[in-house]
Amino acid sequence: MLRAVPVDQPIRAGAPRTNFWGFNGSVPGPLLRYRKGETVRLTFQNALEAESAVHWHGIRVPNAMDGVPYVTQNPVKPGEEFVYEFALPDSGTFWYHPHQSSFEQVPRGLYGALIVEEERPIEVDRELVWLLSDVRIGDDGLQIEDFGRVLDIANDGRVGNEVLLNGRAAGAGNVLEVRSGERIRLRLINAAAARIFQLELHGHAMNVIAYDGQAVEPHAVERLVLGPGMRADLVVDCMQAPGSRFLMNDTHRRSAGPIASLVYGDARPLRRQPLGAPMRLAPNRLPEPDLAKATEHYIMFQGGMRGVPTMGIVDGKPVRTHELMERHGLAWTMNYTAQHEHALMHEPFLHLQRGEHVVLRMINETDFVHPMHLHGHFFRVVAVDGHKEARPVWRDTVIMGPRQTLDVAFVADNPGDWMYHCHILDHAAGGMMGTIRVA
C-alpha cells in the first residue's frame, strides 16, 4: 500500500517541522525493493486534498500502469484508490513520484526509491540508497508555497534553498560512517524538481556501474552530473586511513554546498587492498536499435526567458510568445507546440509504429539545460552535436545542454501513449511535455 498524506517532519534535529506531503507518512516514501522478474502489486490511496497518481520512473510498464493522469488513467481523487500491478523486466535503480502537478507534488515530498535487484548482485560490503532533493523553506521551517511562478518556469525551474538527502538536510554535517577497506554500492537518485547536481567525492574514485539503472562498463568519473529524474549506481572503495574524513561536494553553479561527509571509524581496516570482486553488472535485455534501418524524427525546443521570440501552438491555435507566457503561463515549445498537463489527451506530437527503429534528433534552441525523459522505453544516446558516441549508453533521461543537438535511438516496442518531457518539472508544466504514440 502506498498512501499519499500530509506529513510534518523536521529536516534536521531540533529544526521546526516542515509541512511535507509524503507516501506512508514519510519523506522520502518507503524504499521499495524487489527482485528482477517479480510482479509489483500496490494499492495507491490518496489521502490528500488534491488529485494524484503514481508514476514508476524508468520501469518499462504496460501503458495502463504508467500513472499519468489524463493520458494513461484518470486522476485518483481525494479519498480514492488505484491498484497498480506490473512485472519488473529490468533490474536497476528506479523511483516513483506523482505525475499530476508534479512541479508542486514532487517538491512537497512525494517521491521514493524503487530498487530492483539483479538475479546475481555484485559483491559489496554495503549498499546505500541516496535520494537527493531540495525544498524551498522559510526560517519557520514551512514550505514557501510559490509553486508554478512564471519566473521559475521560464528560467532554471524552482530550485530549493535546502538540499535534502533522504529527507534530511544535506551538508558536511550529514555524516556517513565508513570502515577502512569496505566497498560500498551507492545508488544515487535525483528526485529534485529542478536542481542539477554535480557531485565530486574527495579522496575516492567514483566508479559508475549503471546510469538510470542500466549497466555500463565500470569507469571512474571525477564528477557526476545528475539532472532531475536521473540515477547513477556507484561503487566506492573506501581505502583511506581510519580516522580520516572526506567530503562529497556539489560543484554545480547553483550548488547549496556539500552533500555529505565520509568519516572513517577507528576500526582496524577490513582489508588492505580493494575487494577484487568484479564491478560489472549483467546487462538487462533491451531491444537494440538498428541505426541502418532507423527512421529519423526531429524535435525542436524553443523558449525560455532569453529565448528566441517565436510562436507556439496551444490547444490547436497559434499564439505569440508573450501571450504564451502572459495568458497561458507557458514558456517552452516542442515542435512549436506548448501543452498544459490537462490537455495531454490531445494529439500526440509523434506517431511511431510498434517495432519501429527510431532516431530522435533533439535540437535544443534554448539557452537552458533540459533533462529529457521518455516513458516506457530506454534509448541509447548515439550522438552529441553530430559526433557519434564511442560507447552509447542506455538512458531514460538525458541532459540536453544549451544549444546542443542530441541523437537518441530506440525500438518503439511498447504500445501506448508515452510521455516525453523535460524533468525540470517547471519546464514540463510550462509546455515542455507531450506524448509519443506507439501503435
Query: Where do contacts with ligand C2O occur on this chain (CB under 6 A)?
Result: 55, 57, 97, 99, 229, 373, 375, 419, 421, 423
Q: Give the distance between the most distant pair of CA atoms in the chain.
A: 70
- Which of ligand C2O, Cu ion, none interacts with 183 (beta carbon under 5 to 8 A by kind)? none
Please give the Cα distance from 352 to 436 (Å, whole number).
Answer: 7
Whole-number minimum distance, CB 55 to ligand C2O, in Å? 5
Among 422, 433, 436, 438, binds Cu ion (CB under 5 A): 422
Name the CA dihedral angle for 159, 162, 168, 174, rounded to a multiple of 10 degrees: 120
Please give the Cα distance from 16 to 9 (Å, whole number).
Answer: 8
The DSSP secondary-structure symbol of 90 reads S
Print burial letters for 247-286: b (CB count within 10 Å at least 16), e (below 16).
bbbbeeeebbebbbbbebeeeebeeeebbeeebebeebeb
- Which of ligand C2O, Cu ion, none interacts with 229 (beta carbon under 5 to 8 A by kind)? ligand C2O
Whole-number minimum distance, CB 149 to ligand C2O, in Å? 21
Whole-number minimum distance, CB 97 to ligand C2O, in Å? 6
Q: 231 or 370: whose CB is closer to Cu ion?
A: 370
- The closest alpha carbon to 302, from 400, 383, 229, belongs to 400
Q: How many residues belong to the site for Cu ion (CB under 5 A)?
A: 4
Residues numbered 10-39 forming contacts with Cu ion, rule: CB under 5 A: none
Q: 99 or 183: whose CB is closer to ligand C2O?
A: 99
- Which of ligand C2O, Cu ion, none interacts with 99 (beta carbon under 5 to 8 A by kind)? ligand C2O
Whole-number minimum distance, CB 375 to ligand C2O, in Å? 6
Among 230, 302, 427, 435, binds Cu ion (CB under 5 A): 427
Whole-number minimum distance, CB 267 to ligand C2O, in Å? 39
Contact 88, 37 (CB under 8 A): yes
- Which of ligand C2O, Cu ion, none interacts with 422 (beta carbon under 5 to 8 A by kind)? Cu ion
Contacts of 224 (CB under 8 A, 6+ apart): 188, 197, 198, 199, 200, 206, 208, 232, 234
Contact 242, 188 (CB under 8 A): no
Whole-number minimum distance, CB 194 to ligand C2O, in Å? 13
For residue 114, give the C-alpha cell: 524503487
Q: 131 or 262: whose CB is closer to ligand C2O?
A: 131
Task: Assign 95 to helix, strand or coil.
Answer: strand
For residue 235, give the C-alpha cell: 561503487
Whole-number minimum distance, CB 364 to Cu ion, in Å? 9
Whole-number minimum distance, CB 229 to ligand C2O, in Å? 5
Task: Assign 325 to helix, strand or coil.
Answer: helix
Give the number of other Cβ atoms within 10 Å of residue 328's Cβ: 17
Site map 356..395 versus Cu ion, x via CB under 5 A? --------------x-------------------------
Whole-number minimum distance, CB 350 to ligand C2O, in Å? 16
Among 424, 433, 436, 438, binds Cu ion (CB under 5 A): 424
Q: 99 or 370: whose CB is closer to ligand C2O?
A: 99
Whole-number minimum distance, CB 213 to Cu ion, in Å? 22
- Which of Cu ion, ligand C2O, none interacts with 168 (beta carbon under 5 to 8 A by kind)? none
Q: Cell 521499495 belongs to which residue?
A: 32
Task: Assign 61 to helix, strand or coil.
Answer: coil
Q: 154 or 281: whose CB is closer to Cu ion?
A: 154
Q: 97 or 158: whose CB is closer to ligand C2O?
A: 97
Please give the Cα distance from 122 to 126 (Å, whole number).
Answer: 11
Q: Residue 428 is inside which H or E element, if any?
A: helix 425-429
Q: 210 or 383: whose CB is closer to ligand C2O?
A: 210
| Cα angle value 205/123/230 (rounded, 5°) | 55
* 195 touching Cu ion, by CB under 5 A: no
Q: 319 or 369: whose CB is closer to ligand C2O?
A: 369
Contacts of 345 (CB under 8 A, 6+ apart): 70, 71
Please give the Cα distance from 145 to 159 (Å, whole number).
Answer: 13
- When CB distances to ligand C2O are compared, the closest residue is 57
- Which of Cu ion, ligand C2O, none interacts with 373 (beta carbon under 5 to 8 A by kind)? ligand C2O
Interacting residue ranges for Cu ion, rule: CB under 5 A: 370, 422, 424, 427
